Structure 1
Amino acid sequence: MYRFLLTPRWLGWLALTLVAAAVMVFLGNWQLDRYRGRTAINDRIDAGATMAPAPLRDAMPAPTGGPGTAGPAPADDLTWTRVTVTGRYDPANLVLVRGRTVDNTVGFEVLTPLVLTDGTAVLVDRGWIPPAPGAGATTQPQVPAAPGGEVTVTGRVVSSESGGGGVDRRDGKLETRRIGIPRLAKQLPYAVHGGYVLLDQQTPAADPAFQAVPIGHTNNWQNFGYVVQWWLFAGMSLVGYGWVARREARRAAGLDRPRQPVDRAAEPTPSASV
């Protein structure tokens, strides 16, 4: 009854179905890995909110190159770790990161190098500020001065961002669209750590003009939805092949013969009741 499945045509359909199902299972597994990775990031973000801060060196290795170079990136499992570090701000090399949105308003994140006792520096994201009143979203804002002297910073370790153009110096300030540490390091007179610190607290206290940059969780459940979707598609392709094969087998066995149309005109007309 099912010997037709051994014909070249049906063997070809079977091979195509199996390949398609295997590809969809692979895509589901890939999305499952992304779901696990994003879940781990969310767990680190949540844990960092309550953990005691560790020394910067525990989460980010010191740079070993010369001026204008960036150190190794922080390990993935150490991003969003809460750290503390002490140094002196270098306001002469302040960095404005444009096009950053907080509460539906486009403004700037302000990064200032914190120079450590060994001569290296780590970029500190001091927070977000809006553009100057009445000015466009790309007009440089009035940035509160960084405190002088020794400063102790507590914050989260964040990885360098990818993409997003170059770095310009305008009106004495560096400007960029993305926080790409290797590109920014080339504009600085010292070696820079491979990640940056997103400020939580500072001693002396940070200027109230800065607004804290919100830390968003990754949408890991979207990836989990893709896992279910791809695996369902794989199962449906196999079930669909079986359904078509069964229908063909029943047709070949004469079990699914088409019904003859009923001639309603030839049927007797029921007599009307008196």
Structure 2
Amino acid sequence: MYRFLLTPRWLGCLALTLVAAALMVFLGNWQLDRYRGRTAINERIDAGATMSPAPLRDAMPAPTGGPGTAGPAPADRLTWTRATATGRYDPANVVLVRGRTVDSTVGFEVLTPLVLADGTAVLVDRGWIPPAPGGGATAQPQVPATPTGEVTVAGRVVASESGAGAVDRRDGKLETRRIGVSRLARELPYPIHGGYLLLDQQTPAADPAFQAVPIGHTNNWQNYGYVVQWWLFAGMSLVGYGWVARREARRAAGLDKPRPPVDRAAEPAPSASA
């Protein structure tokens, strides 16, 4: 009854079905890996809210190159954890990151290198400030004065952003669109760590003009939905092949006889209403 499945046509259909199902299972597994990775990020974000900060050297490897270079990126398992460092801010190399939105307002995040005792530095995201009034979203803001003397900071360990673009210097400040640590390192006179700190505590206290940059959770459930979607598609493709094969087998065995065509002309005309 099912010997037709061994014909080249049906063997080809089976091969295509199996390849398609395998591809869908692979895509589902890939989305499952992304779901697990994003879930781990969210767990580190939540845990970081209550954890004590670790020394910077335990969170990010120190740079070993010369001036203008960046150290290794922080390990994935350490991103969004908290770290602390002590040093002196370098007000001559403030970095303005434009196009950043907080509470539906576009402004700037302000990064300042914190120079450590060993001569290396770590970029510290001190917070968000709005653009200068009346000048549009790209108007350079009035940045609060940088604290002098020794400063101790604590914040989240954040990896460098991808897609780093050009870095310009305008009115004595560096400007960029993305926080690309390696790209920013080329503009600085000392080696810097391969990630940066998103400030949440500072001694002496941070200027109240800065607004804390919110930390958003990743949308891991979207990836989980894609897992279910791809695996369902894989199952449906196999079930669909089996359904078509069974229908063909029943037709060949004469179990599913085609219905005769209906002759509409032979049907009696409806009676006219009174």
TM-score (norm 1): 0.95
One-letter code aligned to 1:243: W
Aligned to 2:138: 138
Q: How far is the alpha carbon of 1:259 from its aligned partner? A: 2.0
Change (3 A) 1:253 1:173: same
**1:100-111 equivalent positions in 2, closer than 5 A:** 100-111=100-111
One-letter code aligned to 1:236: M
Residue 23 of structure 1 aligns to a residue whose secondary structure is helix
One-letter code aligned to 2:75: A
CA distance in 2, matches of 1:205, 1:2: 79
Change (3 A) 1:261 1:116: same
Q: How far is the alpha carbon of 1:264 from its aligned partner? A: 7.8
Q: Percent identity?
A: 89
Deviation sequence 1:158-206 (CA, Å, 0-9, x none):
0011114111111100000000011100000001000000000111110
Residue 125 of structure 2 aligns to a residue whose secondary structure is strand
Change (3 A) 1:6 1:166: same
One-letter code aligned to 1:17: T
Residue 179 of structure 1 aligns to a residue whose secondary structure is coil
Change (3 A) 1:7 1:146: same
One-letter code aligned to 1:206: A
Q: How far is the alpha carbon of 1:255 from its aligned partner? A: 1.1
One-letter code aligned to 1:41: I
**1:166-245 equivalent positions in 2, closer than 5 A:** 166-245=166-245
One-letter code aligned to 2:219: N
CA contact (8 A) 2:164 2:183 kept: no
Aligned to 1:5: 5
Aligned to 1:16: 16
Residue 193 of structure 1 aligns to a residue whose secondary structure is strand
One-letter code aligned to 1:168: D
Q: How far is the alpha carbon of 1:48 from its aligned partner? A: 0.4
For structure 1, the 5+ residue unaligned runs are: 270-274
Q: How far is the alpha carbon of 1:70 from its aligned partner? A: 0.4
CA distance in 1, matches of 2:8, 2:262: 39
CA distance in 2, matches of 1:35, 1:261: 53
Deviation sequence 1:47-77 (CA, Å, 0-9, x none):
0000011111110011111111101110000
Aligned to 2:32: 32
For structure 2, the 5+ residue unaligned runs are: 270-274
CA distance in 1, matches of 2:191, 2:228: 46
CA distance in 1, matches of 2:53, 2:258: 77
CA distance in 2, matches of 1:199, 1:250: 70
CA distance in 1, matches of 2:254, 2:36: 51
Query: Mean alpha-carbon deviation: is it higher for 207-216 or for 253-262?
Result: 253-262
Q: How far is the alpha carbon of 1:263 from its aligned partner? A: 5.9
Q: How far is the alpha carbon of 1:266 from its aligned partner? A: 6.7
Aligned to 1:61: 61
Change (3 A) 1:245 1:205: same
CA distance in 2, matches of 1:146, 1:234: 58
Q: How far is the alpha carbon of 1:258 from its aligned partner? A: 1.6
What is the Cα-based RMSD across aligned positions, in Å? 1.4
Deviation sequence 1:95-117 (CA, Å, 0-9, x none):
00000011111100000000001
1:75 has 2:58 as partner: no
CA distance in 1, matches of 2:266, 2:172: 97
One-letter code aligned to 1:47: A
Change (3 A) 1:248 1:149: same
**Paired residues, number:** 269
Residue 161 of structure 1 aligns to a residue whose secondary structure is coil
CA distance in 2, matches of 1:264, 1:195: 78
1:249 has 2:249 as partner: yes
CA distance in 1, matches of 2:219, 2:268: 68
CA distance in 2, matches of 1:56, 1:217: 23
CA contact (8 A) 2:92 2:172 kept: yes
One-letter code aligned to 1:192: I
CA distance in 1, matches of 2:111, 2:35: 31
CA distance in 1, matches of 2:234, 2:92: 58
One-letter code aligned to 2:61: P
Aligned to 1:48: 48
CA distance in 2, matches of 1:82, 1:14: 53
